[in-house]
Amino acid sequence: MAPEMIPIEGEEKKRVCYFFDSDVSGFHYGPGHPMKPTRIRMCHSLVMNYGLYKKMEIFRAKPATKREMTQFHSDDYVDFLSRITPLNMNSFIKEQHKYNVGDDCPVFDGLFEYCSISAGGSMEGAARLSRDKCDIAINWAGGLHHAKKSEASGFCYVNDIVLGILELLRYHTRVLYVDIDVHHGDGVEEAFYTTDRVMTCSFHKYGEYFPGTGELRDIGIGKGKNYALNFPLRDGISDENYKNVFEPVIRRVMETYDPGAVVLQCGTDSLSGDKLGCFNVSMRGHANCVKFVKSFGKPLLMLGGGGYTMRNVSRAWAYETGLAAGVKLGADIPINEYYEYFGPDYQLDVKSSNMEDMNTRGYIERVKSIVMEHLRQIGGPPSVQMTDVPRGPLDEEMNDPNEDDDLISPDVRRPQRLLDSRRQADGELSDSDDEGEGDRRDHASHREPDVARRFGTATGIMQTGSTHGIGPTIALPVSVGNVAVGGSGSADDEMEVDEDDAPLSQTVKAKAKKATSPAASVDADATTDADTSSMAVDPPESAPPDTASEVAPSSAS
């Protein structure tokens, strides 16, 4: 049975650009570390096997260069990141202390390449939004909001969000940044603390909790006064309370600030059951924030962020990718290379627990009234003196990256990058992969054995399994690696790392086997290295944007 995608009625269709680099899953922070880049590939596997590739364009962004990173970060810091490796790290002891690289932010193989992939997707997503090549851009490898100008922090080394916002500021007078991660978006707030061209709005746990910033009274300084909004929350906030906080504040922000573009950091450590989080928000409650921000029709850059229970991270981001593309994903998770991670129910849902909500109604209303007062003092959108958009070598080619396509002979096979960048037209019925969708039946000749139908192979671009057997092989992956208005903080929020991310049980194997066919042979030792790098539309190297004089990123402390 084909995975279910239900179109959202009454919603205007959006052009969606989705960025993914298959190399991102090959990086590992080290044993015992809660940040696992594999979660991005898990999300991508769900996205592909649900069939969302038909609803959007998929790109592999060009990794950001050192020069592009220095639009925000200091030259010395970027140079340090590009040179340090696990082999030579003992030669950089002094620099590691200076740049806060060590415990939370370890040195691992491919560190700079990992940062380049994250920053490259956010910057190109912003560039495509600015040039009206899409309405929504998604980069789940981004959202690393703790990184400072010259300092790593909170598992973040390069602040791709700031780099993406700087690109948006070349074309848009005002940019709104919204952060729904459980941690305060301190790196982004610090970068734009003195300007009115960027409003930062963060909903986070505050108290004795990392990073310890984001107090209600932190509102910006100078020209940026009242353009930094912080909504400190207590443990266990529910879907209802989160919605009662988020929607009124964001609606007033849109009315008061009128941004030209929005950047939404979708950190999933605010979900119930996260290893490092302390909220009680369900997947639907988290996704409601995405749906509400999307409803304003502004150019939207959706980024990843925190999230340390991998199966829940991938569930939420896949579901929110569907919302961006205008569909709701069905409850049953399709067969994919990480299928066993989603047991025992194999449902696309993250439910709330019975955790007590410490956010009383009086507390919520008190904080909300103070935040609204800060917005009232703005008085309306700030005016910005505009100049010609700075030009760079990227701009000319971004105008028409496929200008040479018409020169390709119709008798020549089209490059795979062109085929992967196409989205399926609504109502198209010609794909053989789609047999069974829309109440259509599979048809097979009785004269020839239909092996694929008989053994029930997984649908979608990413085919999982080996080619040495008759039946499909389900890939079983290896685990990679207090408040100004009277709130009280909790001191017992310890980092807790559960290494048992994906137990490989016989029960799950049996279920996966049953989901395909009674005759299918499930090879428990097979793993898939499906290379999605073929879905690569590599745009030309981008030149660093000239930022407005009003934007003055501050130095790290």
491-518 tens-digit pLDDT: 344 333 344 444 444 444 444 444 444 3
Catalytically active residues are: 146
Residue 137 neighbours by CB under 8 Å, 6+ apart: 16, 17, 18, 19, 124, 125, 126, 128, 129, 300, 301, 302
- 306 contacts 360 by C-beta, under 8 angstroms: no
Taking alpha carbons only, the member of 491, 167, 424, 194 closest to residue 303 is 167
d(CA 240, CA 468): 51
Going from the first residue of the chain to its last (557 residues), give the mean pLDDT of each consecutive group of 10, the final group possibly shorter: 84 94 95 96 97 95 96 97 97 96 95 98 97 97 98 98 97 97 98 97 95 95 96 97 98 96 98 96 98 97 97 98 96 95 95 96 97 92 70 54 60 64 57 48 44 32 28 37 40 39 44 43 38 41 43 40
**What is the structure's pLDDT at 453?**
32
φ/ψ region of 300 (left if φ > 0, alpha if ψ in -120 to 50, else beta) reads: beta
Backbone angles phi, psi at 279, to 5 degrees: -100, 175
What count of Cα atoms within 13 Å lies in the side-chain half-sphere of residue 22? 12
Q: Which residue has the tokens 């239909």?
A: 450
**What is the structure's pLDDT at 515?**
46
Taking alpha carbons only, the member of 478, 460, 456 closest to residue 522 is 456
> Which pLDDT tens digit goes with each residue over 330-354?
999 999 999 999 999 999 999 999 9
Q: Which amino acid appears at position 542 of this protein?
A: S
d(CA 77, CA 423): 40
Provide the edge-to-edge strand list for the sheet that holds 136-139. Answer: 57-59, 16-19, 136-139, 300-303, 261-265, 175-179, 198-205, 228-233
**What is the structure's pLDDT at 73?**
98
pTM for this model (two decimals): 0.74
3-class state of residue 23 by DSSP: helix
d(CA 388, CA 93): 45
**What is the structure's pLDDT at 232?**
97
Taking alpha carbons only, the member of 414, 324, 294 closest to residue 19 is 324
- 339 contacts 474 by C-beta, under 8 angstroms: yes
